[in-house]
Amino acid sequence: MRRLITRLLLLLCIGLAGPLAAEEQFWEYTFRPGDSLWTIAEKHTRSANNWVEIQRINSSRLGSNRAIPPGTRIQIPVSLLKIPPTPARVIALSGDAQLQRADGSQSTLSVGALLYSGDRVLTVDAQSLRIQFADDSELQVLANSEVVLDKLSHHRHSGMVDTRIRLNSGSVNTWVKKQNKDSHYRISTPAAITAVRGTAFRLSSDASQISRTEVSEGLVGVSAGGDEIVVKEGYGMVAEVGKPLAQPVRLLPAPELRVTLMADNLTLQLSWARLEGAERYRYQLATDEQFNQMMLDQTTADNSVRANDLQPGPYYLRLRAIDRLGLQGADSSQQIVIKSKPKQDESWKKALPIEILLLNL
């Protein structure tokens, strides 16, 4: 009887071990030149001796080679870290963006979902999301992007923040709260690292490993290959893998946007004067002021487009010019409210057209 009870207890423990282990959160770390498992454990975990556990967990990634090349990614249990990462939160979502945890599990994101260090976010066409960090800074991930949250930490007492993001491909918009001198907020791309303090900027990285930084507020520092260049408000710069950093250039001004309601009361005609130095234009139409719910996000070489089949309600337009380097300039924005009169009989369609109100933002 005692043997039977012992066996049942053993089976119960084994059954519980699986779910408990699956709940462990991991922080994903990328090896840098000069790193070793011992120095990583000493710097980021509560004991340098944790290198043994880190090596065990990552044995399939590291193999038998003692020299670990830079760029190798390893997983560290959150429970071992000196400062547990503070999760970020999804505050707006458009479409079924995907989440991949550091342990490899995948799921569809939802508003309110918590994101941790090591998590990977992926979007495709017509998908976007907005992430809010512990210090209220925000990151908007646009369509066709892959973003990894490398590090999320927030010292509640001192206010120090250390946020490190990896943009493998695609585009993001960023709004960073003003930080103290010990805080860090940076986004890495294959071509460069952009570090900021109290600023708003756009960052993109394409398949050819070229990144573009466009600053709309404050300053950012872009670094690559040991060099760093400060980019100020109203300027942008291009960074390319294997090449020296280019000097910042002034971004194109905002185009003058004109909006006309067509005779069918369902179509908007958007037009603008061509800007010198502009090769293309990007236009966006959304149903919210933060552009989290975008109906259109396209580029054109023309200076006019149409938005069709609009229903009564508020809309927000945004237009910017794109130069020969692919840098996008300042925004021209308008709010549009389309109001329909209450339907009384069929004759109102001819007598009372839809009203349109244009408000400059």
Rounded CA-CA distance 259/240 in Å is: 38
Q: What is the pLDDT of residue 312?
A: 85
pLDDT digits (tens, 9 = 90+) for 208-220: 889 999 999 999 9
- Provide the token pair at 103: 């342990």
More confident call, 12 vs 226: 226
Cα of first residue to Cα of last residue in the chain, in angstroms, is 79
Q: Tell me which of 2.60.120.1440, 3.30.565.10, 2.130.10.10, 3.30.300.30 is the CATH number of domain 88-250.
A: 2.60.120.1440
Q: What are phi and psi of 143, to 5 degrees?
A: -60, 150
The domain locations on the chain are: 24-79, 88-250, 257-360
Which homologous superfamily does the CATH classification assign to the domain defined by 24-79? LysM domain (3.10.350.10)
The DSSP output letter for 58 is: T
Cβ–Cβ < 8 Å for 316, 327: no
Rounded CA-CA distance 211/193 in Å is: 9
**198: pLDDT confidence band, cut at 50, 70 and 90?**
confident
Query: Which residues are CB-neighbours of 33 under 8 A, at least 6 positions away?
Result: 70
Place of tokens 């997983």: 75
Rounded CA-CA distance 298/167 in Å is: 21
Which residue type, as a one-letter code, is found at position 244? P
Asked if residue 15 has pLDDT above 90, the reply is no
Q: What is the pLDDT of residue 358?
A: 45
**67: pLDDT confidence band, cut at 50, 70 and 90?**
confident
pLDDT digits (tens, 9 = 90+) for 314-355: 899 999 999 999 999 999 999 988 776 445 445 444 444 444
Query: Which residues are CB-neighbours of 75 under 8 A, at least 6 positions away?
Result: 26, 27, 28, 29, 57, 58, 102, 103, 118
What is the percent of the chain where pLDDT is above 70?
Answer: 82
More confident call, 239 vs 160: 239
Asked if residue 193 has pLDDT above 90, the reply is yes
More confident call, 311 vs 165: 165
Q: What is the pLDDT of residue 179?
A: 65
More confident call, 7 vs 227: 227
Asked if residue 259 has pLDDT above 50, the reply is yes
Q: What is the pLDDT of residue 205?
A: 95
Report how far apart, in Å, the C-alpha atoms of 209 and of each of 91, 194, 205, 324 are. 29, 15, 6, 17
Please state the pTM of the whole predicted model. Answer: 0.74
Report how far apart, in Å, the C-alpha atoms of 231 and of each of 86, 92, 185, 204, 339 are. 29, 29, 15, 15, 43
Rounded CA-CA distance 1/242 in Å is: 71
Rounded CA-CA distance 229/215 in Å is: 13
Query: Which residues are CB-neighbours of 201 under 8 A, at least 6 positions away?
Result: 173, 174, 194, 213, 214, 215, 216, 217, 218, 220
Q: What is the pLDDT of residue 311?
A: 85
The number of residues making up the chain comes to 361
Of the CA atoms within 13 Å of residue 211, those in its CB half-sphere come to 28
More confident call, 283 vs 25: 283
Query: Which residues are CB-neighbours of 277 under 8 A, at least 6 positions away?
Result: 252, 321, 323, 324
Q: What is the pLDDT of residue 17?
A: 39
276-283: average pLDDT: 97
301-310: average pLDDT: 90
Q: What is the pLDDT of residue 180?
A: 63
Asked if residue 357 has pLDDT above 60, the reply is no
185-198: average pLDDT: 90
pLDDT digits (tens, 9 = 90+) for 106-154: 999 999 999 988 899 999 999 999 999 988 899 999 999 999 998 887 6
In the CATH hierarchy, which fold is given to the domain comprising 257-360?
Answer: Immunoglobulin-like (2.60.40)
Q: How high does pLDDT run on average in the chain?
A: 84
pLDDT digits (tens, 9 = 90+) for 28-52: 787 888 888 999 999 888 899 999 9
Place of tokens 């946007």: 257
The total of other beta-carbon atoms located within 10 Å of residue 316's CB is 21
